[in-house]
A and B are shown apart, each in its own frame.
Chain A
Amino acid sequence: QKEVEQDPGPLSVPEGAIVSLNCTYSNSAFQYFMWYRQYSRKGPELLMYTYSSGNKEDGRFTAQVDKSSKYISLFIRDSQPSDSATYLCAMSTQAGTALIFGKGTTLSVSS
């Protein structure tokens, strides 16, 4: 079993839809959880950062972490065509260490 599992999709939704992306993991020591967005042929850019369990909201984006279930989610409200990208979950056990990434989910939002 890989450390971080993420459905690669692709996921296609109409503009305005609510998108739910998620990852599961096996290492209970993970404490830092992030979501990155990657456009084609570009480096990943940070979307959301969460430490330990709980929810975090930033504009149209909400990140949730459930450590008891080893499950994290990213919700995108009122999705836009510009949200079309690959979304990667990432996590680590300690601050300052390298991140372990999921495979990424490719999202396509049609207008």
Chain B
Amino acid sequence: GAVVSQHPSRVICKSGTSVKIECRSLDFQATTMFWYRQFPKKSLMLMATSNEGSKATYEQGVEKDKFLINHASLTLSTLTVTSAHPEDSSFYICSARDQGTSSGANVLTFGAGSRLTVL
């Protein structure tokens, strides 16, 4: 089945630094990837839709300049949290859809998530 790899799984950084999270589709190509954020005991909140070769589409309330998304290839999307602050501490999860699935299918495969802690 489709596998999405996310790295790093856990990162701790100082306030003001930037952190990059990678999301790779290992055995399929994904023109679109989705980045979610999850707070403790809360649901997954869609942050942005990452489109290969073009700009990401951000959800309302998500700062484009703080959460930089790059989707340079069909198997890799990156999320960079710039000038991180303690309130950015969260669980970030990426997902992708296997284009090889039958039409009408809308199954998203998720990465294992990256837990960011900003001190």
Size of A's binding interface in residues, CB under 8 A: 28
State which size class the interface on B falls in.
20 to 34
Instruction: Identify the B interface with A (CB < 8 A).
Output: 4, 6, 32, 34, 41-44, 46, 49, 91, 93, 95, 97, 103-113, 115
Of A6, A96, A100, A102, which contacts B97 at CB under 8 A? A96
Q: Which of B34, B44, B97, B106 has the most chain A CB atoms closer than 10 A to its own CB?
A: B106
Of B34, B106, B112, which contacts A43 at CB under 8 A? B112
The reply to whether B107 and A88 form a contact with Cβ atoms under 8 Å apart is no
The reply to whether B106 and A44 form a contact with Cβ atoms under 8 Å apart is no
| Measured CA separation A94–B104 after assembly (Å) | 8
In order of increasing CB-CB distance, the 9 nearest A-B pairs are A43-B110, A32-B106, A103-B43, A43-B113, A43-B112, A101-B44, A95-B106, A101-B43, A44-B110
